[in-house]
Amino acid sequence: MTTLNDRSSVSKRRFDLTVTLIAAGAALLGSLVGGGLSYLSTHQQIKAESSNSQRDFLRGQRQLAYSKLLSDDQIYSSMEQDEVVTLVGNRTGAQDLAKLNELEKMRSDLHKALQTDLASIELVSSATVVQAALALIDNHFSIMQALIVQGTCMLGETAKCSKARSEFDDGYSEQGVRRTLFVGQARADLSSS
C-alpha cells in the first residue's frame, strides 16, 4: 500500500507544481500585458498632449505675427495720411527736397518692418493668409511710391502729379479692403487650428 500512497503523493506534487507553474505563468503574462497596455496608454496621452502643445504654440505665434502686421499697418497708414497733409502745404524747394529724403527713409523703414512681418507670417501661416498679408504690404508700397511722386510734383515736375494723386487715392481707399481681407483670412486660419 505504500506504493499506492507514494504514487498518489507524487501525482499530487506534480499537480501542485503544474498549478503553481500555471499560476506563475499567468501572473507573469498578466503583468506583461498590463505593463504593455499601460505603456501604450501613456504613450498615446503624451503624444496627444504634445500635439496640443504644438498647436497652441503655433496659434500663439500666428496671433503675434498677425497683430504685429496689423499694428505696423496702422502706424504706416497714419504716417501716410500725415505725409499727404504735409505735402499739400506750401513750402520752399529746399524743404520739399528734405521732405522727399524723409519720405524715402520712411519708405525704407516701412519696407524693412513689413518684410520682417511678412517673414514671420510665412513661417506659421497658411498660403491664403500669406497672400492677403502680401497684398496689404504691396498696397503700402504703392501708396509710398505715389507719395514720393507727389513730392516731386512740389519741385515742379507736374506731369505726373494728377496720376500720382489718383494712385494714392486708389491705394488709400483699397487699403481698408485689403486690411479687412487679411483680418478675415487670419481669423479663419486661427479658428481652423
The widest CA-to-CA distance across the chain, in whole angstroms, is 136
pLDDT at 139: 82
Q: Give the tens place of pLDDT for each residue, 77-122.
A: 877 777 766 666 555 455 666 766 777 787 788 778 888 888 888 8
Residue 27 lies in a domain: no
Residue 107 lies in a domain: yes
Domain containing residue 84: CATH number: 1.20.1420
Residue 150 lies in a domain: yes
CB atoms inside a 10 Å sphere around CB 61: 15
Cell reading at 153: 510734383
Residue 140 lies in a domain: yes
Q: Give the tens place of pLDDT for each residue, 137-190.
A: 888 878 777 777 776 666 565 666 667 667 777 777 777 777 888 888 888 888
What is the arithmetic mean of pLDDT over 22-39?
87
- Between 56 and 80, where is the model more confident? 56
pLDDT at 23: 86
pLDDT at 4: 59
Q: Which domain holds residue 75?
A: 59-192
Residue 7 lies in a domain: no
Nearest to 100 by CA among 140, 150, 143, 159: 150
How many domains are contained in the chain? 1
- Asked whether the whole model's pTM tops 0.75, one would answer no
